[in-house]
């Protein structure tokens, strides 16, 4: 059975899986600690936090999903994840980048997608790679409906000693810039293994 933990209205409350916070979080934010110290970061108090612990144990992808305001046809979301060395989906961080910074056949521009180049950078003094993509996401792929929403996503991929971390921001393109500061705050306070 899928075990999902949903924690709402996080103001002042302690998390399941929380350990003592390394330092006080900024106003409007609280610190989240993933079990086994896989990562910790500041997350917005008013956003919904979701986890699926059973799926995490099986896939060895330890991920939180933060759901922000819904705008138009799509939500604003942030994912923070630790991909263990023997995770189900990706052999290495390079594999993740290869499969997420291009489409499945290696294109960076298609009728439904557009990617930015992958740039080497640093996040909190750690080596990181960042890239963005825009996707025409069909809402009804099972029927001949043509309804879609244009979403924009931003990624940070951080190599770790074993495995790697991924920070992923997802928003309708129309409000991407508006909520980017929340993602930036999480990213700037992120500490991995």
Residue 187 Cβ, how far from other proteins at the closest point, in Å?
20
Q: Which residues in this chain contact other proteins in the complex, by CB under 8 A? A: 1-4, 6, 8-9, 46, 48, 50, 55, 59, 61, 63, 65, 67, 69-75, 77, 88-91, 96, 99-100, 103-105, 110-113, 135-147, 149
CB neighbour class for 49 (10 Å; exposed up to 12, middle 13-18, buried from 19): buried
Q: Between 75 and 159, name the residue whose CB sits nearer to other proteins.
A: 75
Q: How far is CA 85 from CA 42, 80, 96, 160, 164, in A?
A: 24, 16, 12, 9, 8
Alpha-carbon distance of 111 to 44, in angstroms, equals 35
**Structure tokens belonging to residue 193:** 């293994």
- Closest distance to other proteins from the beta carbon of 4 (Å): 5
How many Å apart are CA 160 and CA 128, to the nearest integer? 10
* Closest CB to other proteins among residues 21, 71: 71
Q: How far apart are CA 155 and CA 77, in angstroms?
A: 12
Rounded to the nearest angstrom, the gap between the alpha carbon of residue 8 and the centroid of all alpha carbons in its chain is 18
Minimum CB separation of residue 84 from other proteins in Å reads 12
- Residue 51 beta carbon to other proteins: minimum distance, rounded to whole angstroms: 10
Residue nearer to other proteins on the CB measure, 123 or 171? 171
Strand partners, 80: 64, 167
Of residues 6 and 125, the one with the C-beta less far from other proteins: 6
Closest approach of other proteins to the CB of residue 47, in Å: 8
Identity of the residue, 127 or 136, whose beta carbon is nearer to other proteins in the bound complex: 136
Closer residue to other proteins (CB): 18 or 48: 48
User: Considering only CA atoms, which of 4, 64, 68, 1 is closest in space to residue 35?
Assistant: 64
Residue 123: CB minimum distance to other proteins, A = 21
């Amino acid at each position: 059975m899928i075990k999902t933990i949903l924690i709402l209205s996080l103001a002042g409350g302690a998390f399941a899986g929380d350990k003592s916070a390394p330092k006080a979080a900024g106003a409007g934010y609280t610190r989240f600690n993933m079990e086994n110290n896989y990562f910790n970061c500041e997350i917005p108090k008013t956003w919904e936090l979701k986890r699926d612990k059973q799926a995490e144990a099986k896939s060895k992808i330890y991920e939180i999903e933060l759901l922000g305001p819904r705008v138009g046809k799509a939500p604003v979301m942030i994912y923070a994840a630790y991909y263990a060395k023997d995770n189900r989906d990706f052999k290495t961080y390079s594999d993740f980048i290869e499969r997420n910074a291009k489409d499945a056949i290696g294109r960076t521009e298609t009728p439904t997608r557009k990617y930015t180049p992958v740039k080497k950078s640093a996040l909190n003094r750690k080596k990181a790679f960042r890239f963005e993509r825009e996707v025409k996401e069909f809402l009804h792929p099972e029927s001949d409906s043509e309804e879609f929403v244009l979403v924009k996503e931003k990624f940070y991929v951080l190599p770790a000693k074993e495995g790697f971390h991924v920070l992923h921001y997802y928003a309708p393109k129309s409000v991407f810039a508006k909520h980017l500061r929340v993602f930036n705050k999480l990213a700037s306070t992120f500490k991995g293994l």
